[in-house]
Amino acid sequence: MDLQLDGQVAIVTGASRGLGRAAALALAEEGVHVVAAARSGDALAELVDHYPDRMKAVTCDMEESDAVAGLVDEALEAFGRLDVVVNNAGIAPAGAFEDQDPREWERVFRINVTAPAVLSRAAGLVMLEQGHGRIINVASTSGLKGKPYLVSYSATKGAMLRMTEALAAEWAGRGVQVVAIAPGAFDTDAQAAVTEDPEMLRRRLRKIPAGRMGRVEEFGPLVCYLASPLATFVTGATFVIDGGEAHKL
């Protein structure tokens, strides 16, 4: 199927590893020019080596709102247009809620909620003027149902889902679609503590009806479809990709 993505331009945050990297590579493979943003310059350089003509690496601290909004200018200057934003960057500090420093709580919200809002607004100014665009917010199944020891993360991902719905309703009549993806457990570096401990992994997989974690290459195709012109009637929805865990009886 031709997703009609060739020549489009996307910004992907948190692109240096895990699901963000998978999304950036999948989009580039479909012919999209990608501004890949993350904190790790070395990891971004390795990523861009895969598609040097289609990717631009931009180191960016998601706590710096001016730098986040500036990603839109980076896309316009490098590739002349902007069609897609994938708000993927996020952090998930685990631990007992009573032990969490309020400053860490605030940092989780700055990175997981404020940064996507800032980028969505900056991109939206361009997209609304041109009459088309897609914003894809990478949330989590923790945003569907809060998880213990991940209180701040669950709260931020829940906020991202509500932001997705509200913004989708606000911009639907002006040609801009806003959707969310809620991944479950994927085999990435973020899950290393689980995957490297056989007993912990066994307990974790028991919660997933599919009996395994997701593979990063299963994430990119969903991003590509949602980014494509074929999905212009899809907005405000959350796409769960978790092997059935969220709906396990």
Average pLDDT value for residue range 216-233? 97
If one counts every other C-beta atom within 10 angstroms of the C-beta of residue 32, the result is: 26
Contact (Cβ atoms closer than 8 angstroms) between residue 24 and residue 32: no
Please give the class, per CATH, of domain 9-183+219-240. Answer: alpha beta
Q: DSSP letter at 215?
A: P
Q: Is 219 helix (H, G, I), strand (E, B) or coil?
A: coil
Whose tokens are 């998880």? That residue is: 147
Reading phi first (left if > 0) and then psi (alpha if -120 to 50, else beta), residue 225 is in alpha
Considering the chain, what percentage of its residues have pLDDT values greater than 70?
100
Q: What is the pLDDT of residues 127-153, one digit of tens each?
A: 999 999 999 999 999 999 999 999 999
Give me the pLDDT at residue 73, please. Answer: 98
Contacts of 206 (CB under 8 A, 6+ apart): none
pLDDT of 247 strictly over 70: yes
Question: How does residue 249 score in pLDDT terms, banded at 50, 70 and 90?
Answer: low
Q: Output the pLDDT for position 103.
A: 97
Q: What mean pLDDT is predicted for residues 231-236?
A: 97
- Three-class secondary structure of residue 123 per DSSP: helix
Give the tens place of pLDDT for each residue, 78-101.
Answer: 999 999 999 999 999 999 999 999
27-82 pLDDT, tens per residue?
Answer: 999 999 999 999 999 999 999 999 999 999 999 999 999 999 999 999 999 999 99
| 155: confidence class by pLDDT, cuts 50, 70, 90 | very high
Give residue 104's pLDDT band: very low, low, confident or very high (50, 70, 90).
Answer: very high
Task: Mean pLDDT check: name the lowest of 105-114, 153-162, 210-219.
Answer: 210-219
CB 245 within 8 A of CB 141: yes
pLDDT of residue 164: 98
Angle, alpha carbons 95-153-99 (nearest 5°) = 30
Q: Report yes or no: 37 and 6 within 8 Å, Cβ to Cβ.
A: no
pLDDT of residue 92: 95
Q: Would you name the residues annotated as active-site residues? A: 153
Report the first-to-last Cα separation within the chain, whole angstroms: 35
pTM (two decimals): 0.95
For 188-215, give one letter per residue: b (16+ CB within 10 A) or e: bebbeebbeeeeebeebbeebeeeebbe
pLDDT of 169: 98
Tell me the C-alpha to C-alpha distance, in Å, between residue 43 and each of 59, 74, 220. Answer: 10, 19, 18
Q: Averaged over 216-243, what is the pLDDT? A: 97
Structure confidence at residue 139 (pLDDT): 98
122: left (phi over 0), alpha (psi -120 to 50) or beta: alpha
- With a CB cutoff of 8 Å and minimum separation 6, the contacts of 236 are 164, 165, 168, 169, 172, 178, 179
Q: Which helix (H) or strand (E) holds 166?
A: helix 151-171
What does the pLDDT average to over 190-204? 83
CB atoms within 10 A of CB 105: 16
Positive or negative CA dihedral for 90, 80, 234, 218?
Answer: negative
Question: What integer best gives the mean pLDDT of the chain?
Answer: 95
Tokens of 38: 């993350």
Is the pLDDT assigned to residue 112 strictly greater than 80?
yes
1-7: average pLDDT: 94
